[in-house]
Each structure stands twice: as structure tokens, then as C-alpha cells.
Amino acid sequence: MSLAVRVIPCLDVDAGRVVKGINFKELRDAGDPVELARTYDAEGADELTFLDISASHEGRATTLEIVSATAEQVFIPLTVGGGIRSVEDVDRMLRAGADKIAVNTAALDRPDLIAEIADRFGNQVLVLSVDARRCVGEARTDSGFEVTTHGGRRSAGVDAIAWAARAAELGAGEILLNAMDADGTTDGFDLELIRAVRAEVTIPVIASGGAGAPEHFAPAVDAGADAVLAATVFHFGTLRIGEVKDALAAAGMPVR
């Protein structure tokens, strides 16, 4: 018996449409999140993550409909993040059919939000999303890693490793670790960052940022990741879920 390494595609959703380039030949409408979710499910995705990047209130309402339509048709776990600021937001998403909720900025602004969500819904619903990078400029932290906001453009002035550990204590059930230094490079995951977080938390860690080739995934798991997440490489068809799993299996890791 063995727990499998999870391979998770992430879909950026804006006002009900998936954004970023998508290159699946078999899709009639590559911008339809439900159809894309179904495709990823058929390819063997272990979970799906929707990241709501809508700026408007109307856009967020549409995302709720997307979550609901997806949960009606796709029977694997669904995580939704982006713009979650309150226990009420979480409740709405769970009722729409989400299984887990990712929080980021709102938890930085008010860490008690983590405990409030965990107390009400259990820590298994709560994913803490951390955008981390090596300290730049004047900023210095004990670990050398800091938390960023605004898509990696601003420093939050917080130690990324200490923040992950504190969130776990407050009740987060999982850490979604976005490596901002590696993000978009397609040179591979930030193994040093994964190791640093793994050493400090005992909840599952999802590694994100930097994947570009099938052989990039096994080292992330060796460094301590329980799951691996990617967006662009899956959307563009550079990598398929099956290829990633084959590479993990070839490295001796259990996959579904």
C-alpha cells in the first residue's frame, strides 16, 4: 500500500473563462473551464486547482458558477483560490462544490482567518498559498526566503518559511508553495525552497513553479513535496499529465 504523488494542473480563471494559452486539439472551446477540467480528469489529473484572477465582483460570481458546473461533472478533488477573504467566502465556495480553498493575501493581512476557517470547516479544506522568493534588496529574513504579494512584485516583509510554519500551527491543512524565482523559467522546481519548508512543517506541501520537463518532477518529490502543480506547461501542451506520471513512476515513485 502506498500514497501516490499527486499531479495537479492549475487553471487561471478570469470572469468564467480560462486564460493563458491553451493548446488541446481535442477541445471545442479551450477557454471553457468545465471542458478543460474534464480533459485533465480524463488524462489522469489527481486534483484540479482553479485560481480566480477576476478583478470584479461580477467576475467572482461567475467563478462560483464555474465551480458548481465543474463539481457536477468531474469527480476528483477541486481546490479554488483567489479573492477568498472571509469564512463566508469559503462557505459559498464549498456549497458550490469546492473541496478545498486556497487563501493567500487575506491570510497575510489577518492570520486569524486561517484559524477561523479551520475551526469552522476543518483544516483539510484549507490550503495556504505562499508566493516565496529569495530576499532581494534591503529585505532580510532568517531563512533567506521572503513572502511576496501582487504576483511576486512586492515584498510582504515576512519570512516565507516561518510563515508556512505559523500557518500550519494556525490550522492550514496543506501548503501550496509557489517559487517566484523559478516561476516561468521552465528550468525545474526550486528544490532549496521545498527542502526549507519541508523541514519546518508536517502538513502536505504542493510544489509549484519552474516545471518545464518530465524529469523535473521527481527531484521536487525527493526534496519533500507531496504533490506537484503546474499551469502553463500543461495548458500549452508542452507536458501531458501522463508523461509526468510516467517520469515519476520511472523514478520509483508511486503514482495513480
Which residues form the catalytic set? 12, 131
Q: Using CB under 8 A as the criterion, what x/- string covers residues 42-71 for binding other proteins?
A: ----x---------------------x--x
Residues in the chain: 256
Nearer to other proteins, 237 or 254 (CB): 254
Sign of CA dihedral 23, 19, 255, 77: negative
Nearest to 146 by CA among 137, 133, 136: 133
Which range, of 56-64, 107-115, 202-210, 234-242, touches other proteins by CB under 8 A? Answer: 202-210
Give the long-range contacts of residues 234-240, CB within 8 A, separation 24 or more.
234/9, 234/40, 235/9, 235/11, 235/18, 235/20, 235/21, 235/22, 235/23, 236/21, 236/22, 236/23, 237/23, 237/24, 238/186, 238/212, 239/211, 239/212, 239/213, 239/214, 240/43
Q: Of the two residues 91 and 192, which places its CB atom closer to other proteins in the complex?
A: 91
* Cell numbers standing for residue 11: 487553471
Interactions with other proteins, residue window 130-189 (CB under 8 A)? 173-174
Q: How far is the CB of 204 from other proteins (least distance, A)?
A: 5
Measured from the CB atom, the residue of 120 and 195 that comes closer to other proteins is: 120
Single residue of 97, 188, 209, 212 touching other proteins by CB under 8 A: 97
Q: Does 95 bind other proteins (CB under 8 A)?
A: yes
Q: Which of 102, 127, 121, 129 is nearest to 209 (CA)?
A: 129
Binding to other proteins in span 24-43, by CB under 8 A: 41
Q: How far is the CB of 67 from other proteins (least distance, A)?
A: 10
Q: Which is nearer to other proteins, 14 or 41 (CB)?
A: 41
- Cα–Cα distance measured from residue 62 to residue 50, given in angstroms and rounded to the nearest whole number: 13
Contact positions toward other proteins, by CB under 8 A?
A: 1-6, 41, 46, 68, 71-72, 75-77, 91, 94-99, 120-125, 173-174, 202-204, 226-227, 253-254, 256
